[in-house]
Amino acid sequence: MSKPGTGVRRMFLGSELVGSADKLPSRIEVEEDDADRPPHSPDLGQVARLARLAQRGVLDFVSIDETLAGNPPFSGRRRSGLDAIRLATRLAPATEGIFLAPLVRASWVEPSGLLEALITLEIASAGRHGWELVLQDGAAPAGHTGELLTAVVQDTWSDADPLTRLAASARATRRRKLSWAAAEGRAHLRPRHPVQVMRADTPEAAALAAEKADVARVTARTHAQAASARSALREAAADRGRDPSDLKVLVDLTVTLADVPSHAEARKDMIEELMGRRLGGAGARFVGTPSALAGWCAEWVLADGCDGFTFLPTSLPQDLILLVSVVAPTLAEAGHTRRAYRLPQGAAGPRAVPVPRPRPPARPRGREPAAPQTEPPPRGVAPARSSP
């Protein structure tokens, strides 16, 4: 979407909340007592601060995966597939304006559980709910396909008879102990279809994204590769009867930022040495100053290379701070991004993230222990009295 006669195109921006440096495998020894706790697992308050930081830059969405929920793919814990959605639901009251796109692995979820989790997120976020579908997961058992999950979700929110969806909402509110009144004016009146984000790096995923997705994430190292991927996805969407402009193609961009270019290069070299591979993998990366990144992004979008970017910060919160304090305002000043969120009328401000209280120790089952009894004094002997 461009403004006539100005050469300015609307740019869509998102960010992951896990830095590349946080994905280094086991470079820190884990104590035996903490073996079941995944490394680099941030607490809820830290994740909320990162989400609010992205909100300050008026980004369109944040991507939330199970790593932030303390249950990463490399851990030995049993996964439900909905950990990221549950985390996003807890973060929702602490944010406003920005969309939350938790990651969902198709092989790990049941359609009914996915619907309930998304409806719960819809209520808690007042309509800022989305989900990012991942099709391939080699460690997962055979499960439901992405086509089935996307069809179930779209049919539920597009159902002409709202009773089906309202019944699911009632179940969600009962089980999660949520209510529309508890939203304190944040609840929306008109149901909004959850924004669907998909990675389109394989032929199967690209075909499904062209048919169903609102946002397609692609991996491309050069502008030519990004433009080719975007053109192919838009053509595939048109072949399926969709308006190609409804599908936004975002390039994954690994960023390493500093006020001095040499400092950014030094940090990039250090992290690459620790990782043993190229930072950013096969995708695009930028190493330099925030002001230079803003111009670089504008060039790619204006040349039809993509519709925006999903930022993958190298280090958090350092790179995210520079993104929201320099890059985002520069792009907004040029007219590429919006300056503020359009909040619903009467919406309340963000609230603190609820911190779960520690549970009291479990009481033993069975009858309560009898109170100790004292033997009565012998006959003819008065009970002893305490002296005043």
In the structure, what pLDDT confidence band is assigned to residue 274 with cuts at 50, 70 and 90?
confident
Q: What is the pLDDT of residue 184?
A: 40
CA torsion angle 203 204 210 212 (round to 10): -170
Given a cut of 90, is residue 245 above it in pLDDT?
A: yes
Given a cut of 80, is residue 36 above it in pLDDT?
A: no
Residue predicted with more confidence, 195 or 366: 195
What's the sign of the alpha-carbon dihedral 31, 37, 39, 41? Answer: negative
Q: What is the pLDDT of residues 327-365, one digit of tens each?
A: 999 999 999 999 999 876 545 555 544 444 444 555 555
Given a cut of 50, is residue 139 above it in pLDDT?
A: no
Q: In the predicted model, what is the mean pLDDT of residues 192-199?
A: 87
Asked if 320 and 288 touch (Cβ cutoff 8 Å), the reply is: no
What's the sign of the alpha-carbon dihedral 235, 236, 239, 245? Answer: negative
Q: Exposure of 208 by Cβ count < 10 A (0-12 exposed, 13-18 middle, 19+ buried)?
A: buried
In the structure, what pLDDT confidence band is assigned to residue 24 with cuts at 50, 70 and 90?
low
DSSP string covering 93-122: GG--SSEEEEEEEGGG--HHHHHHHHHHHH
Domains belonging to the chain, first-starting first, are 7-25+39-59+200-340 (3.20.20.30), 62-199 (no CATH)
Q: What is the pLDDT of residue 287?
A: 96
Q: Cα separations (Å) of 284 from 97, 261, 310, 334?
A: 28, 18, 11, 23
> What is the token pair recorded at 110?
């049941």
Q: What is the pLDDT of residue 268?
A: 93
Residue predicted with more confidence, 150 or 325: 325
Q: What is the pLDDT of residue 347?
A: 53
In the structure, what pLDDT confidence band is assigned to residue 177 with cuts at 50, 70 and 90?
very low
Least confident piece of the model among 59-63, 80-84, 345-349 = 345-349
Q: What is the pLDDT of residue 105?
A: 83
Q: In the predicted model, what is the mean pLDDT of residues 269-295?
A: 91
**Structural Rg of the chain based on CA atoms:** 26
Among 27-36, 91-100, 136-145, name the most confident range. Answer: 91-100
- The contacts of residue 350 (CB under 8 Å, 6+ apart) are 52, 93, 94, 95, 96
Given a cut of 60, is residue 205 above it in pLDDT?
A: yes
Q: Which residue has the tokens 């280090």?
A: 315
Length of the chain: 388
Q: Which helix (H) or strand (E) holds 253?
A: strand 248-257
Q: What is the mean pLDDT of the chain?
A: 77
Percent over 70 (pLDDT), the chain: 65
Task: Find, among 104, 142, 99, the residue nearest to 122 by Cα.
Answer: 99
Asked if 188 and 126 touch (Cβ cutoff 8 Å), the reply is: yes
Residue predicted with more confidence, 214 or 362: 214
d(C-alpha 209, C-alpha 217), whole Å: 9
Q: Which helix (H) or strand (E) holds 7?
A: none
Asked if 247 and 196 touch (Cβ cutoff 8 Å), the reply is: no
Q: In the predicted model, what is the mean pLDDT of residues 98-111?
A: 85
Given a cut of 70, is residue 302 above it in pLDDT?
A: yes
Q: Cα separations (Å) of 295 from 13, 16, 218, 289?
A: 14, 21, 21, 10
Helices (H) and strands (E) in the chain, counts: 11, 11
Q: In the predicted model, what is the mean pLDDT of residues 36-59?
A: 79
